[in-house]
Structure 1
């Protein structure tokens, strides 16, 4: 008798990638707001800790603008929330032609609960030959417009 485990049998291309893209050299970043103590660099660049936090409540946008289109094989997103229960939604969009048009990669909701689930980590395998813009839209709480968005890390491979 042969045995197989049912599941995704595709190889994970991102796991073979050892180094993320050097966003500091390859891209500019636009962000809708940021707290002075938790700037966007803390989420995008290695060597920082504490992640990014919005400077005002409500939906936020983080946009990476590549100086030249880059091949993108995966995007890693890590979110932490240990203080309040909330349902966050994020939308990840890309453009190969400087924003004309954008293509939605994923739209996902996650429920954070301080007594249980305080972290979300997602790796989106894409294998795109040329990306000029990556946009991350974060709605920190779909039922409370006074919640603050945060992002622990974002890595592009």
Structure 2
């Protein structure tokens, strides 16, 4: 029997054993809008302290086009909204044929509120083989306000 005594409040770090893909070396990134002060690299590359933010309000898309097909087993998304009450919807989908067809991974809505829910962190365990494109669509506010889409972090393993 193998055992270990742990503290009750000890949380398992989902990043501790994860080897994240080097998106900078493996893919080209397409984005529909970008604020120069908050470039997409801020959300995709480890060690960045900022985030990506769209320059224009409304629906936005981030697309990763892999140079070679990839196997993806873990997806981490981190969204932050400390100031505005809004309901965001995102859709994550993938293609193994260069974008001729897509399969949806997840479609999710989240309610942000400065008094309570200011962050959404999602970790998805998947088994995707031959991924040529990964696409994240973000509708920052389904009620149609002029909210800006943003993304704190996207990691793949």
Rounded Cα–Cα distance in structure 2 between residues aligned with 1:31 and 1:55: 11
Aligned residue in 1 for 2:79: 79
Counting only pairs closer than 5 Å after superposition, residues 124-139 of structure 1 correspond to structure 2 as 124-139=124-139
Q: Say what the alpha-carbon RMSD is for the aligned residues.
A: 1.3
Counting only pairs closer than 5 Å after superposition, residues 14-29 of structure 1 correspond to structure 2 as 17-29=17-29
Runs of 4+ in structure 1 off by over 4 angstroms are 14-17
Could you tell me which runs of 5 or more consecutive residues in structure 2 were left unpaired when the two chains were aligned.
Answer: 1-13
* Pair 1:65-2:71 in alignment: no
Deviations 1:69-126 (A, max 9, x none): 0000011000000011000000000001111210011000000000000000001111
Deviations 1:2-47 (A, max 9, x none): xxxxxxxxxxxx7685211000000000000011110000000012
Rounded Cα–Cα distance in structure 2 between residues aligned with 1:16 and 1:45: 17
Secondary structure in structure 2 of the residue aligned to 1:42: helix
Counting only pairs closer than 5 Å after superposition, residues 1-157 of structure 1 correspond to structure 2 as 17-157=17-157
Could you tell me which runs of 5 or more consecutive residues in structure 1 were left unpaired when the two chains were aligned.
Answer: 1-13
Shift of 1:144: 2.6
Structure 1 residues 133 and 17: alpha-carbon distance in aligned structure 2, compared to 1, 3 A threshold: farther
Rounded Cα–Cα distance in structure 2 between residues aligned with 1:49 and 1:55: 19
**TM-score (structure 2 length as normaliser):** 0.88
Rounded Cα–Cα distance in structure 2 between residues aligned with 1:138 and 1:123: 17
